[in-house]
Structure 1
């Protein structure tokens, strides 16, 4: 696994410019959010990724390793790929904070994608051979092309200060079986997923993201 500190060492750090947050094919709401973020953080830095292909999992944030303060100390607002990003493993956003923001101006291809607090803007297509799952603090996702996956499980809610903006907007087609995990009942979860893809705490049932990734990678059933 490539962890976020090692990843950041491979990036170019510099001051934010308008070209950095100009992303092709963005819907109006996506452009509005990007413009607002940039205007409120005009003196921030950006991290320009230099590698476009990773042969293993890329952990871009981690709550347990305090990634948000690490990025914040370096005043990094955006992590940017100017073109495509291909990851043979998973893309992991495991922090709860909104910053930094992820911009991929081309296509994103991954095995699985665990989404946390990092708002993401993709100019092209998103393709996952496995699952795209939003965990506890799933955030905004704007995709200029299609989204393709074995499973798409969003959990994002509109931000309180942007109540009229739908948090996930896909310009193209969604080619994936979808389950809205915003506020499902136990019965809805049990009807959608095999028992091995779920976890139980007291009387409540939740999806088990890691179990879903592992089962998908092994070719085992996730959906009922």
Structure 2
């Protein structure tokens, strides 16, 4: 049988061809294939496909390098710029690990900040809660905690005021501020003789230096873990207190 007018056209299942034969003009025949060579298509279909084609260009994901990136301090970049010494990649990895864990502690304190805002709304019972919430969103955690204490002092039952976990909360606030406003710096001590044999020992420490007071304190991974746990404990204590007390009175 000879095919007549057998154009391949795109179809949901592949390429579709419908045709009739001179021997059986009333019989419609068709077939579908998964693929087609350009030579099997007429010029009109090829031109249509070219017009429909899309060349995807990744604009944001344009980095072909496999080299890992790290967070640099201003001191690292200064050394690199002046080519004084090679960058200490071990130091950069350590700083990145400390910064990541410090970020966890700060983030947990931010969740505590949100809960304090909810407690203020429960205590104040404002006529327009959404407007008041928008105002509270501009407050830092210390200001929110001060507001809660003010509300408790003016209108709370004595038991609610006494049971409020203020010391635990203020400790979390102070630690959050220390972590958020500090720079992490590597400190290498002078080598000193080993106590248990020949040779010397050199201590490598990381210190958190407050940008406001310039005070310095040792910072460790284990200590930061305790900071995260303390922030979680403060959040849990406030949540339990709120569940037990905020529905009992109005400001």
Which of structures 1 and 2 has the larger relative contact order (alpha carbons within 8 angstroms, sep 6+)?
A: 2
- After TM superposition, is the score higher than 0.5? no
Q: TM-score range by the shorter chain?
A: under 0.3
Q: TM-score, normalised by structure 2?
A: 0.22
Task: Kindly indicate which of the two structures has a greater share of residues assigned to strand.
Answer: 1
Task: Kindly indicate which of the two structures has a greater share of residues assigned to helix.
Answer: 2
Of structures 1 and 2, the larger Rg is shown by: 2
